[in-house]
Amino acid sequence: MRASSAKPCSCTRTAARAFATQEGIQAGASRPATSHGLRTVALNFAAATEQTQLRGLATFIEYGGNVYQLLGYTAEADWAGYQGAFTAAHASFQELTDPAALRVQPLKLSIVPLDAAMTLQRFHQRYPSQVSLDEVARLNGVDPAATLARGTLVKRVVGGPLP
């Protein structure tokens, strides 16, 4: 992230302040910036768990009317080795423009009422899924070799494959 004279919206400042004032968080100063044209506020923090002391980076990014909170944290002893990776990961947040990635559709369940009795394997051939036969069996709570009665509602997974 690079520093900017542009002031972050009050929502990123408010989110950073709410994070920093949580019980158990010791936050450093907040750092307004812009990254890929997006308003951000970042702050380093420390926190204690029952097992260890933690160090981390919290970044709040305004995008599309929402504020996204990115957190990277590790044991205090490992902070020096991870701080750069956390900073780079947070700075990589930007609008998605890759056409292949934008075409990806989420995987969804589709429920099919069977018009005839059939094995799950035949169902899987007739109504292909984005997951294996074994996974379809698990989703439906049946054995992969099961025969299903006419009228049974059977789940399958549909949607676009990842690019």
Residues 106 and 50 reside in one and the same domain: no
Residue 61 domain-assigned (yes or no): yes
Residues 25 and 63 reside in one and the same domain: yes
Cα dihedral 73, 76, 79, 80 in deg (nearest 10) = 170
Place of tokens 């956390």: 86
Residues 17 and 86 reside in one and the same domain: yes
Confidence tier at 163 by pLDDT (50, 70, 90): low
CB atoms within 10 A of CB 22: 10
Residues 139 and 71 reside in one and the same domain: no
Range of the domain at 147: 102-158
Give the contacts of 33 (CB within 8 A, at least 6 positions apart).
Answer: 1, 2, 3, 4, 8, 40, 41, 42
Phi (first) and psi of residue 27, to 5 degrees: -100, 145
Residues 87 and 109 reside in one and the same domain: no
User: Residue 159 pLDDT more than 90?
Assistant: no
pTM, two decimals, is 0.65
Give tens-digit pLDDT for 90-144: 999 999 999 988 888 889 999 999 999 999 999 999 999 999 999 999 999 999 9
Query: What's the domain count of the chain?
Result: 2
Residue 42 domain-assigned (yes or no): yes
Residues 70 and 49 reside in one and the same domain: yes
Residue 2, pLDDT score: 38
Give tens-digit pLDDT for 143-158: 999 999 999 999 999 9
Residues 53 and 30 reside in one and the same domain: yes
Give tens-digit pLDDT for 25-71: 999 999 999 899 999 999 999 999 999 999 999 999 999 999 999 99
